[in-house]
Amino acid sequence: MVTEEGYTYSHFAKPADVWKHLALCEVMRNEQPTVYVETNSACADYHLNHTPEQEYGIYNFIEKATYYEGLSDSFYYKLESAAIKENKYLGSPALAMRVLGDAVDKFHFFDIETAALSNVIAFANRNQLADKVEIIRQDSIVGVLDLLPKLPKSTLIHIDPYNIDKPSTNGKDYLDVFTEASERGMKCILWYGFNTLDEKKYLNDFMKDKLSGKTIGNLSCIELIMDIIQKNTILCNPGILGNGLLTSNLSNTSVSTIEKYSKSLTVLYQNSHYNGFKGSIYRDILDIKSTKLTNKNSISNNLRRPKRGLKMR
């Protein structure tokens, strides 16, 4: 288990983790992939220490989840509420191993940090899954693109970088990884973050331009954004002020579950605060369309962009 002090990865258990990991757990449960790939695994588990960011993130979620539709029934809530009693936070590699377990033929975890990968394999050993886990210390843009031809369509790829638009040595970026895997029919979930509305607009345009003309099924994109976000200035740093999940080839059940949870989180955070700042969030559902959807009933085609401060009924 890794502590926050003196370690490269200090982003765990913040609000962005709550959103992405809540969705990821339900996607894994619904889709039941035979292979799981993660581009930026970081660690399997961490020691919590009640930082303001963690208080605004995982502690806030665990405290309030039982009052909101479906959240307390989520796999994420059940796993993290148990872990928090031991002062731990489970990162995405641990969540993947706990949700999928022996049902998966192989887990592929990429990272460039040796200590993070050592933590992942230690967790796999403790859970009798080491024979199913491959850890790869490599640039994951290059590594995953090389791996794609060997993977079945039943693969789920979790793309979780710092920057989706920064090219690697091969000239490709993480959105290229998402696009190529999606066009091969694999299920993908990509997380991205931004701290200003200018950054949001840039990334939205970047995604729309790159996905234009692509043949991708059930393409959906939902963002959760702090109400205090500014056009080009940053008032505070809870980890990230806005972040989105771009998904492809998921079942309608998974897409609708992500949509439902995003709505529930906007309500959960209504009266929250972070370091003296208003912590409420709003939701934006983006209209990102590829040329042809393999599932014409995709929920993402029918959802309207909601207003700020959306309230559940």
pLDDT means over runs of 10, the chain (313 residues) = 52 96 99 99 97 98 91 97 98 99 98 97 98 98 99 98 96 98 99 98 97 94 99 97 98 98 97 97 90 39 36 30
Token match 């843009």: residue? 141
Residue 298 in any domain: the answer is no
Residue 283 in any domain: the answer is yes
Residue 222 in any domain: the answer is yes
Query: In the numeric block, which tokens belong to residue 24?
Result: 């990821």
Domain harbouring 61, CATH code: 3.40.50.150
Write down the pLDDT at residue 28. 99
The angle formed by the CA atoms of residues 14, 166 and 274, to the nearest 5 degrees, is 20
Task: Say if residues 271 and 311 touch (Cβ distance below 8 Å).
Answer: no
State CA 311 to chain mean position distance. Answer: 23
pTM: 0.90
**How many domains does the chain divide into?**
1
Write down the pLDDT at residue 298. 35
Q: How many CA atoms, within 13 angstroms, populate the side-chain half-sphere of residue 170?
A: 13
DSSP state of 304: P
Query: How many of the other CB atoms lie within 10 Å of CB of 224?
Result: 23
Write down the pLDDT at residue 180. 98
**Domain carrying residue 130:** 15-293
Residue 174 in any domain: the answer is yes
Residue 243 in any domain: the answer is yes
Write down the pLDDT at residue 162. 86
Residue 301 in any domain: the answer is no
Write down the pLDDT at residue 304. 34
Strand partners, 273: 278
Query: How many of the other CB atoms lie within 10 Å of CB of 250?
Result: 26
Write down the pLDDT at residue 68. 80
Write down the pLDDT at residue 8. 58
User: Is beta strand 281-285 parallel, antiparallel or unpaired with respect to 106-111?
Assistant: unpaired
Residue 122 in any domain: the answer is yes
Residue 303 in any domain: the answer is no
State CA 7 to chain mean position distance. Answer: 21
User: Sign of dihedral through CA atoms 18, 22, 27, 28?
Assistant: positive
**Residues contacting residue 166 through CB under 8 Å, at least 6 positions apart:** 173, 174
Helix (DSSP H) and strand (DSSP E) numbers for the chain: 10, 12
